[in-house]
Structure 1
Amino acid sequence: NDFRDLDFKNNLEEKLKIILRAEELAAAADVNDAFKELQDLHKIWKEDIGPVAKEVREDVWQKFSAVTKKIHDRRHEHFRDMKSKYQEIINEKLAIVARLDAYDTSKNKTHKEWRSSIDDVEKLRQEYFNAGKLPYAKSEEVWLKFKAATKKFNSAKNHFYKDEKSEQQENLKKKLALIEIAESLKESEDWNMATEAMKKIQSDWKHIGHVPRKFSDDIWTKFKAACNAYFDRYHEQKNAISKEQQEVVDAKKAFLETIKEEKTHTKETVLEAISTWKELGPLPRDVRHLEGKFNKQIDRLLEGLSLDKKEVSMLKFVNVVDGLLATEDFRRLDSEQLFVRKKMDEVVKEMQQLENNLGFFSNAKDDNPLVLNVKNRVEEFKEDLEIWKEKLRYLRKLDY
């Protein structure tokens, strides 16, 4: 009997330990893990631990049963909550699928418009995935609808790019034909005919759309080389200074000296000086440096006037560009356009950086000196960007 009582005592201690562990599981965060461990505890209770004294047997079992019921109840409640949560996720995903399925691409005509649509659809895709995960049995039907809506969009996108690829091949043929014309004209000495023809094919080139990217740089290099070869010869033959040209040089040198001595001036007198300079006639190529000297003097006179920043900048720019157009320096005009575009890109990047920096001051007051400084600089860049845009618009209006 002593051995049996000792055995009952040890069994009771082990079963009380199991009850204590079950009570801990009843409060555990992960209900599923708690339920799995509870099964193990029941197995140990039944198979590994023997009986306890008869007078406490029912009481011990009732305690274990009660805590077991707690865990079962929590598990059932968890599954009810999950079922409700899954339905919320399904509803959210179906709403996103509906938006994706209704997404209208019928007005997309350009790569830029399609790029914007692709970004929009990618955002919807991310919303779908971020809405939450579902068990396979519940997700399959929603997933098939999502795939169908995505496929619908991709089919429209692929159709556009297939057509665009065909159009780019046609553009490639057109540009290759222009290269052949440029190659045939680059050694011509029929200056009037060849110059007009070269100007026309340069204009045609600009109006032909994109070609496949892998050919773009190569054909542009060939076309540019043929055009440059011709215009280099054209300008070279024009460089021989005639008697009449020498008179223009002398007149412009004398006029330049009078401007240098100018003390008082107005916007009207500056514009009149520019007009007079043009009327004196074009300079031979080898004395074009006089144009630069004249432009510096005009810049000096304009800066001395009480005009706003944009007006001064545009007057200087128009003076230089009109001079390049008058001397038919088309290469410099193209370079000027590239330069203006580059400056616009630089200004936009600077503005974006400053606007990003403002994010670091989200909690700062509006009158914070640092915030005010950044905002002022953003406004300055906006003014600069508008000036560069105005310059680009002016260049695009030129007929050359």
Structure 2
Amino acid sequence: MLEEKNDNLHEADGKSGIGLNDSSPDDAIETSISETTTENETSLPESEVENIEAEEADHQEALDAITNSNAEESEDETLKERHAIPMQDYDTFSLDALVDELKRLVNTDKVMSVKDHIEEIKKSFSLQFNHLIEEKREEFNASNQDPNEEFQYHSPLKSKFDEYYSIFREKRNAHFKHLQTNLKLNLENRLTIVEELKELINPQENIKDTLKHFNELRERWKNAGAIPKDKYNHVWNNYHFHVENFYDYLHLDREARDLDFKYNLEQKQKIIARVEELANETDISKAFRELQDLHRIWKEDIGPVSKEHRDTIWNKFSELTKKIHDKRELLFESQRANEQQNLEIKKEIIATIEVLATEKVGSHSQWLVQIQKVEALRNDFFAAGKVPAEVNEQTWAAFKTAVRNFNSFKNSFYKDIKKDQNDNLNKKMALVAKAKELQESTDFSATTPIMKQIQEEWKQIGHVPKKYSDKIWKEFKDACNHYFDKLKEHKSEENSDEVAAFDNKKAYLDTLREFQLIGDHKTDLDAIKAHIETWKGFGKVPFSRRHIEGKFNKILDALFEKLSLSKKDTEMMRFSNRIDSLSESNDTRKLDNEKIFIMRKIEEVQNEIFQLENNIQFFTNTKNAKKENSIVLEVRKNIAIHKESLEVWKDKLKQLRNLNQQ
């Protein structure tokens, strides 16, 4: 036997990992790997000749697809493992997702198994990121008023991407350097083996020694390693040519040659049986990957067969190869149809954005709606999937142009309101200056309402240029917080005094309840006034305990009633006590409301007096004017009561105004 009869079909059962060739048959380079060629010895009609030539071309296309893929993977065996890693539609990934996927793939041990995946990721990332940069530049140009300021945009995401891609590039370069060294040495070794094969055809040498040398060369060839893919077909065909020459030379030892032919035929028949099974495999990509490996075994591991079987078995193998190749082409056509459908979807999205770029919008809120629409369309565009490679750049360019036109249209609107934003900026800067001026004030009763008013004014002012927004807001917020923190500390200090005041007033109520009038009007009145002053001297009580003031006023009312004071004096003393309480609480809002209420009452009483006096005038002009009747007397009485009431209200207003002047 010329070689060991071990089963060379250990990978033909489909159980071992076999590499996937994703390259299209269109990429195949012209080569010839047929074992034999035959010439037509009979003349055929021209139409039949053309059909035969077309059929042979189809067969050759299928064979070239297999051969070129095997040539590539024979150069670098790690390429086979790329088929175990799914090729995603990276155009649908977000920038964040692309970076995460790149990070995951870079950690793969065999860098060439993910090379195609990483290059696709890079392509998708570059297209999306460049589009983002263009948008950011347009936003900068639209909002920036300083012509000397250059556009800058830092993206941590881009930094991460560059970092991971740099790791991949270093791994790839190291792999290539190591691979090229080995490829060169392996090529030299195989060429040496071919030269030694040529020299085997030597009639002077003993046939037994020649066979031994031949088998040694075949074993060396088998273990010689990968060679450059551009040399693959030439070197292998050259090797097979000299192997077949040697077999022809072996007619001197026909028995050994025929046994070897028989063994090789059996192995190739096993391959054909397996390929027939693969022709019915539903997973076309898986079937094609295994077919690649079977072609490699056929070509690299199994020797020739006898001439009588050579054409028949090769044609059968080629026919089955074409059948699987055709099914793969149908799969590619289906994928291309999906890509064409994705293209139509993206065209519709682009057209919709182009329409939005011409719709007139007159307010910020309406523009927000438009921006949300475009953002949703952008997401739909990215999610639509791959389009045919030949129009990918064109589609991206159309999308970017549509978005750019929309942004330009939007920016022109905001450019028109830039003046308003600058005016708002000046107003807010004035409020910042005012807040800073008041932030150290300790006159809390006067400053607190002003600070609150400043805050309300800030809320009413519209947007300012984005460039200054955060800065002035921080300054304003810090000034306000500084003041109100001081106010809080001040109130915290006051709280302890207020609690003490409450305790004192609570105890004093018991004393006041025991107080008795002695019957002398002046003495009793002075005593009541003294109690009032003592009560005031205790100070303000906590807001939640101000009910004690009501208890005090109730006791005073009872004392005033016993004292038989005039109605005016009683009313004014009660009012004075109430106003003093409001004044102590620094409740300017209630004091202002009280003032407004009194002024309205004065106006009402004056109007009532005016109306009553008109009524008197009516009665005095009658024929019985000299004699006033009961109605006139009643009206005069009401006028007197209203005038007395008016005097009280005016005294109250005067007291309030005097309080404001203090």
TM-score, with structure 2 as normaliser: 0.32
* Higher Cα radius of gyration: 2
Between 1 and 2, higher relative CO (CA 8 Å, sep ≥ 6) is seen in 2
